A and B are shown apart, each in its own frame.
Chain A
Amino acid sequence: MDFTLDETQAMLADSVDRFIAGDYDFETRQRIAASDSGYSLDVWRKFAELGWLALPFPERDGGFDGGPLETMILMQAFGRGLVVEPYLANVVLAGGILRRLANHRQREAWLIPLISGELQTALAFVEPQARYELADVATKARPDGTGWRLSGTKGVVLNGGNAELLIVPARTDGGRRDADGITLFAVDAAAEGIAVRRYPTVDGAQAAEIVLDDVRAEADALLGDVGRGLEALEAAVEDATLAVCAEAVGIMQTLTEKTVAYSKSRIQFGVPIGSFQALQHRMVDMLTACEQSYSLLLWATSKHAGGGDSRRAVSSMKYQVGTAGRQVGQEAVQIHGAMGVTWELDVAHYFKRLTTIGQIFGNADWHLDRVAA
């Protein structure tokens, strides 16, 4: 049994860490997060140059045929660097749909520009009433000549404000919560009838509420088969769930390191607070949580890469992130004392991102039910 990364994978991890150390310090990250778009075009182009946008795509599309393990490595490093660039939304979510369903012409039109960093995309997989149920789709697609007309509301669309291309699940058939009858459409975000209300999210990223009012979708906007879109939707979201779990592990490890370092330097009562046994034990528990989470991440990622049904493994990992992640985040803030609740310290921002990861793609409760079933 071998838990080591091969040479290419190690190089990938190394190149992301070097990029963050050289070009993406905390001040830079904050500046980018506070910008209008919430990401940096320069950084995005750099990602394209480095081949990171191409990572999970097939070689024939200019990709690297990377699997879940490669995405895991990248995302874990992004977690360490608290990167706000919309990699998840573009490459894993929207890219995950295009990778699976796009025909040749659609690949030329959308996937190639996405990989080269020239197209911003988003997958609108949440609806305001749905909570975590992907099949809960009230947005409707009615036939309109050779195309369709889409109407409905999509909530908390990650990167929704920046996206030029939106991938929109809409119901061509069935009841609101039926698994069958969901169809995926690629829609121009500037199309008539689309209203995008963008906003920052509490973790330094951006999202949007998107209302579609009888938006025209041509025949060639259809991704995959009519009424059979849920499978690809679930697969892309499963990829993304694992990806943010990797990001979370990177954050947890960083928070633990920073907390230990802080406890060694903060003097109260004439000694470093790290000398207090009560705090030492809690930091050991943080370390344990990180290691357990990393172990589970390797297992879940392997299972997912193996090609079989990895839903239980991914849910186990997401539950772990929701629980152990919450514990590590809270402890990091508490042990940093009042500094931990200030805007100025990076610890608070790591904590906030870790928290929002717990809220998306199903929280710990939701995934626990899936494992229990």
Chain B
Amino acid sequence: MRLEFSDSDLAFRDELRAFFRSEVPADILDARDREIELSREDQVRYQKCLHARGWAGVNWPVEYGGTGWTPMQKYLFALEAAAANAPDIIPFGISMVGPVIFSFGTEAQKQRFLPGILASDVWWCQGYSEPGAGSDLASLATRADRAGDRYVVNGTKVWTTLAQHADWIFCLARTSTDVARRQEGISFLLIDLDTPGITVSPIITLDGVHEVNEVRFEDVEVPAANLVGEEGKGWTYGKVLLQHERTTLTGTARSAYRLRRLRSQAGRSVRGAPPLADDRNFMRALAAAEIELKALEITELRTLAAVAAGEAPGPESSFLKIRGTEIQQAIDVLYMDAAGYYALPYVPEQYATGFPDERRIGDGVETRSALRYFNGRKSTIYGGSNEIQRNIIAKRVLGL
């Protein structure tokens, strides 16, 4: 039993720290610090920094241009990226469709799609959920009907994150209804969003932000060569992806950063008020969140150690998602508690580049705290709702 990082891990961590300190553009980190939303260009610029270092493919094997990092190194990368408050990598290309393509795709598909994903030249989005298929994803109804060398796609995908910026979409679509189980008729298709017949419409979330979309397909012709793997096996590929998605949704490193920042803020006087540290109720809640997060961090490391020993991440990855998202939400509440009245002003103009400091209302993240809390409610709903995650664990782990 040894709960410390090895010397080589520590050396690697130092290398990561140096990278984030000196190779990530200062203006991007500054924007992050000021809670300014990054443009598509800025996000791509960041990812290209990683790519230049050979670090874009965090989870990819070396043969496809990935880092080939051990689970512990990947963990340290997430830790140091969060500590530097670096942007999150947009997951749809690098963490989701990329691994599906190199795991199940043809050589031609790998050569065609993987380099663009890795270099962040091509932006992907995820076409899974539908108005009638949320938790019950297998009931999806978008059809892909084979016609010669094409599939003709009809249907509607919903909650498609950042589709307004995306170039391509990967879709689960139904290629056959003549099956014993609904999951069997589903295929994994790669679709160019420029194809005629596709309409992307914004869905505004409760915080007033345009983040997700509806994507409608009307007689969209997709080359059969864009089918990944075998027809009817899309559900399996999608499931592998979802298990990976779950581990990326734990967010322990980001949560640790946010709690450290809050604890530091609590020790200061904001606008001449007594420091929040004087509020024992608040400090107790902060301490409780820190304890819960520590437990999750160690659970995550236990999972990592198991994976390093050659075991695949299975149902316990569902558990990480449940606790990770609940803790994220608890931290959102603490930030809002800290803001007091200054959670109320809706002043998105403050979070644009160049807004004069002297006109700023509230201190730092206060006027974003309610919006973050509102938007953060989605985390226990997406990626497989926490209810579904509990069902999976009950069935697969507890045998109920």
Residues of A within 8 A of B (CB): 126, 128-132, 136, 138, 155-156, 197, 199-203, 207, 209, 267-269, 273, 276, 278-279, 326, 330, 333-334, 337-338, 340-344, 348-349, 351-352, 355-356, 359-360, 363, 365-366, 368-369
Across the interface, do B387 and A131 meet the contact criterion of CB distance under 8 Å?
A: no
Q: Which residue of B lies closest to A127 (CB)?
A: B271
Q: How far is the CB of A84 from chain B (nearest CB, A)?
A: 13
Q: Which chain B positions have C-beta within 8 A of A330?
A: 377
**When the two chains form their complex, are residues B346 and A341 in contact, meaning their CB atoms are under 8 A apart?**
no
Partner of B381 from the list A199, A278, A341, A363 (CB cut-off 8 Å) is A341
Known: A269-B136, A330-B377, A355-B370. A201 touches B345 (CB 8 A): yes
A199-B374 contact, Cβ under 8 Å, with A132-B340, A338-B159: no
Contact B281 A369 (CB under 8 A): yes
Q: Indicate if the CB atoms of B204 and A344 lie closer than 8 Å.
A: yes
A359: which of B271, B279, B341, B371 is its contact (CB, 8 Å)? B341
- Decide yes or no: A202 and B343 within 8 Å by CB, A129-B273, A130-B273, A337-B385 being known contacts: yes
Contact indicator B341/A338 (Cβ below 8 Å): no
- Assembly CA distance A356 to B374 (angstroms): 11
The 8 A CB mask of B366-385 against A (1 = contact, 0 = none) is: 00001101110110111001
Nearest opposing residue in chain A for B376, CB measure:
A341
- A342 near B380 with CB under 8 A, answer no
Complex interface residues of chain B between 315 and 333 (CB less than 8 A to chain A): 333
Is there an interface contact between A338 and B272, defined as CB atoms closer than 8 Å?
A: no
Closest to B391 in A: A278
B340 touches A334 (CB 8 A): no
A334 to B380, CA, bound (A): 7
- 19 pairs from A and B in contact (CB 8 Å cutoff): A155-B341, A155-B342, A156-B345, A199-B346, A202-B374, A207-B344, A268-B134, A268-B135, A273-B135, A340-B377, A341-B375, A343-B208, A352-B374, A355-B336, A355-B374, A356-B344, A359-B340, A365-B281, A365-B285
Interface pair A199/B373, CB less than 8 Å apart: no
Contact A368 B134 (CB under 8 A): no
Residue in B208, B282, B382, B387 whose CB lies within 8 Å of A279:
B387
How far is A305 from B64 in the complex, measured between Cα atoms in Å?
73
Given A200-B346, A341-B205, A368-B281, is A156 in contact with B341 using a C-beta cutoff of 8 Å?
A: yes
- Does B248 belong to the interface (CB within 8 Å)? no
- Our pick among B206, B272, B340, B361 for the contact of A352 (Cβ within 8 Å) is B206
Instruction: State the CA gap A156–B281 with chains docked (Å).
Output: 24
**A338 with B208: CB separation less than 8 A:** no
Instruction: Please measure, in the bound complex, the distance between the C-alpha atom of A13 and the C-alpha atom of B372, giving whole angstroms.
Output: 35
A156–B346 touching, CB < 8 Å: no
**Could you tell me if B387 and A278 are in contact, using CB atoms closer than 8 angstroms?**
yes
- Closest approach, in angstroms, between the C-beta of A282 and any C-beta of chain B? 10
Chain A's nearest CB lies how many Å from the CB of B284? 9
CA distance A346 to B342 in the complex (A): 24
Contacts of A334 in B (CB 8 A): 377, 380-381, 385
* B375 and chain A: residue at smallest CB distance: A341
Chain B CB within 10 Å — which of A126, A132, A201, A340 has the most?
A201
The answer, among B203, B347, B380, for a CB contact under 8 Å with A199, is B347
Minimal Cβ-Cβ distance residue in B for A201: B344
Are B341 and A126 within 8 A (Cβ)? yes
Nearest CB of chain A from residue B277's CB, rounded to whole Å: 13
Q: CB-nearest residue of chain B relative to A361? A: B341
Judging by beta carbons under 8 Å apart, are A341 and B206 in contact?
yes
- Interface size bucket, B side? 35 or more
Confirm or deny: B337 has a beta carbon within 8 angstroms of a beta carbon on chain A.
Answer: yes
Residues of A contacting B344 with CB < 8 Å? 156, 201-203, 207, 356, 359-360
Which of chain B's residues has its CB closest to A279's CB?
B387
Whether A338 lies near B337 (C-beta < 8 A) is: no
For B346, the chain A residues whose CB sits under 8 A away are 199-202
Binary interface profile of B, 265-285, with partner A (CB < 8 Å = 1, else 0)? 000001111000001111001
How far does the alpha carbon of A34 sit from the alpha carbon of B232 in the complex, in Å?
A: 48
Q: Is the CB of A363 within 8 A of B337?
A: yes
C-alpha spacing A273/B381, complex, angstroms = 14
A356/B370 contact (C-beta < 8 A), A129-B273, A203-B344, A338-B129 known = yes
Taking CB atoms, residues of chain A closer than 8 Å to B204 are: 342-344
The distance in angstroms between the C-alpha atoms of A352 and B346, with both chains bound, is 12
Question: Are the C-beta atoms of A341 and B380 separated by less than 8 Å?
Answer: no
Contact residues in B for A338 (Cβ distance below 8 Å): 129, 134, 158-159, 378, 381-382
Known contacts A129-B272, A278-B387, A365-B279; A340 and B370 CB within 8 A of each other: no
With a cutoff of 8 Å between Cβ atoms, the chain A residues found around residue B272 in the complex are 129, 138
- Chain B proximity of A138: nearest CB distance (Å): 8
17 extra interface residue pairs, beta carbon distance < 8 Å, beyond A337-B135, A342-B206: A129-B271, A130-B273, A131-B273, A138-B272, A202-B343, A202-B344, A279-B387, A337-B381, A338-B159, A343-B206, A348-B206, A355-B373, A359-B340, A359-B341, A363-B340, A368-B281, A369-B280
In the assembly, what is the distance between CA of A203 and CA of B390, in Å? 32
**Nearest chain B residue, comparing its CB with the CB of A126:** B341
Q: How far is the CA of A349 from the CA of B270 in the complex (A)?
A: 30
Known contacts A209-B361, A338-B134, A349-B206; decide if A356 and B343 are in contact (CB<8 Å).
yes
The residue on A at minimum CB distance from B339 is A359
- Of B272, B282, B344, B382, most buried by chain A (CB within 10 Å of CB) is B344
B385: chain A residues within 8 A (beta carbon):
334, 337
Assess whether B206 is in contact with A131, with CB atoms less than 8 Å apart. Answer: no
A199 and B361 form a contact (CB under 8 A): yes
* Other-chain residue from B129, B271, B341 in contact with A360 (beta carbon distance below 8 A): B341
Does B106 make an interface contact (CB < 8 A)? no
Which residues of B have CB within 8 Å of A333?
A: 377
**Bound Cα distance A126, B133 (Å):** 47
Cα distance A360–B345 in the bound complex, in angstroms? 12
Whether the Cβ atoms of B341 and A202 lie closer than 8 Å is: no
| Residues of the B chain whose Cβ atoms lie less than 8 Å from the Cβ of A269 | 135-136, 139
Interfacial chain B residues near A209, Cβ < 8 Å: 345, 361
Residues of B within 8 A of A131 (CB): 273, 340-341
